[in-house]
C-alpha cells in the first residue's frame, strides 16, 4: 500500500538514532525503528520502509523481510483500537471462541479485518500469559481477563 506523503519527522529520526549505541550495528535497530514509526503513524507503509532503510543505511529488502515477518508490525492501516484476541489453549478451554464470535458479530468483521469506521482492528495473538484469568483479550496496551460474552460487549462500548 502506498503512502507518498510519508516523511520521517526529526523526532522519529532522533528516537531511532538514540538506539544506535545499544547494538553492534544499525541493522539491529530495524525492529525498534519500525515500532517507533508505527507508534506514531499506526502502520508501516512502503514509503516508511524506504525512509527508515535510508536512515539505518540498510537495504529496503532487509527491512521489508523483517516488517513482513513479525505479527506486531502492521503493513496496512489499522483501527484506532487494536484488539488482540488470545486463542491459546487455556483461553480455548474457557470459551474464547464464543468471545471471538461476539467480537466478530458486534464489530461486523472477522479476525484480521478493520471496521469501516477505522475504530477497531481484530487480530489473533499468542498466549497473553493470563491463563489463571482466562479468557483474555488485549485492547491496545491494556489486558482484560475473566471475560464473558456480556462483559465483552460492555468493554467495546468503552472504546467506541
Partner 1 sequence: MKKILRTPETHPLTWWLNKHEDTVWIKEYIKKGGYLAFEKAVKTIHFKTIIDIIKNSGLKGRGGAGFSTGTKWSLMSQGKNSDIRYLLCNADEMEPGTYKDKFLMEKIPHQLIEGILISSLALQVSRSYIFLRYEYNKVEDILNKAIHEAKQYGYIGKNVLKSGFNFEIILHSGAGRYICGEETALINSLEGKRANPRFKPPFPASVGAWGKPTCVNNVETLSNVPFIILNGVEWYKNLSNSVDTGTKIMGFSGKVNNPGLWELPFGITAREILEDYAGGMSNGLQLKAWQPGGASTNFLTPEHIDLPMEFVSIQNAGSRLGTAIAMVVDNTINMVSLVRNIEEFFSRESCGLCTPCRDGLPWIVSILKSLEKKQGQIDDIDILEQLSYQLGPGKTFCAHAPGAIAPLKSAIKYFRSEFECCIKTSSTINVKFIDGIQ
Per CB under 8 A, residues contacting partner 1 are 22-25, 27-32, 34-35, 58, 62, 65-66, 69-73, 84, 87-90, 92-94, 124-132, 134, 138, 141, 143
Pick 146 or 153: Cβ nearer partner 1: 146
CB of 17 to partner 1, least distance (A): 15
Instruction: Mark out the alpha helices in 19-148 (DSSP H runs).
Output: 30-41, 46-56, 60-67, 89-93, 96-107
Asked if residues 68 and 75 have their Cβ atoms less than 8 Å apart, the reply is: yes
CB of 4 to partner 1, least distance (A): 26
Give, for 151, the enclosing helix (H) or strand (E). helix 149-159
Pick 123 or 155: Cβ nearer partner 1: 123
Closest to 34 (Cα-Cα) out of 45, 20, 23, 44: 44
Asked if residues 25 and 56 have their Cβ atoms less than 8 Å apart, the reply is: no
Pick 132 or 157: Cβ nearer partner 1: 132
CB of 130 to partner 1, least distance (A): 7
Pick 126 or 153: Cβ nearer partner 1: 126
CB of 19 to partner 1, least distance (A): 9
CB of 117 to partner 1, least distance (A): 26
Pick 1 or 126: Cβ nearer partner 1: 126
Amino acid at each position: 500500500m502506498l503512502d507518498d506523503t510519508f516523511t520521517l519527522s526529526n523526532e522519529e529520526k532522533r528516537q531511532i538514532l538514540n538506539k544506535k549505541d545499544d547494538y553492534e550495528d544499525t541493522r539491529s535497530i530495524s525492529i525498534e525503528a519500525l515500532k517507533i514509526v508505527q507508534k506514531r503513524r499506526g502502520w508501516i507503509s512502503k514509503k516508511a520502509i524506504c525512509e527508515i532503510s535510508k536512515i539505518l543505511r540498510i537495504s529496503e529488502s532487509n527491512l521489508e523481510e523483517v516488517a513482513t515477518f513479525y505479527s506486531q508490525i502492521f503493513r496496512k492501516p489499522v483501527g484506532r483500537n487494536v484488539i488482540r484476541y488470545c486463542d491459546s489453549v487455556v483461553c480455548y478451554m474457557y470459551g474464547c471462541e464464543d468471545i471471538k464470535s461476539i467480537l466478530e458479530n458486534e464489530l461486523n468483521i472477522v479476525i484480521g479485518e478493520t471496521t469501516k469506521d477505522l475504530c477497531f482492528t481484530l487480530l489473533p495473538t499468542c498466549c497473553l500469559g493470563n491463563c489463571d484469568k482466562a479468557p483474555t483479550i488485549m485492547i491496545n496496551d491494556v489486558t482484560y481477563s475473566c471475560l464473558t460474552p456480556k462483559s465483552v460487549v460492555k468493554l467495546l462500548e468503552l472504546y467506541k
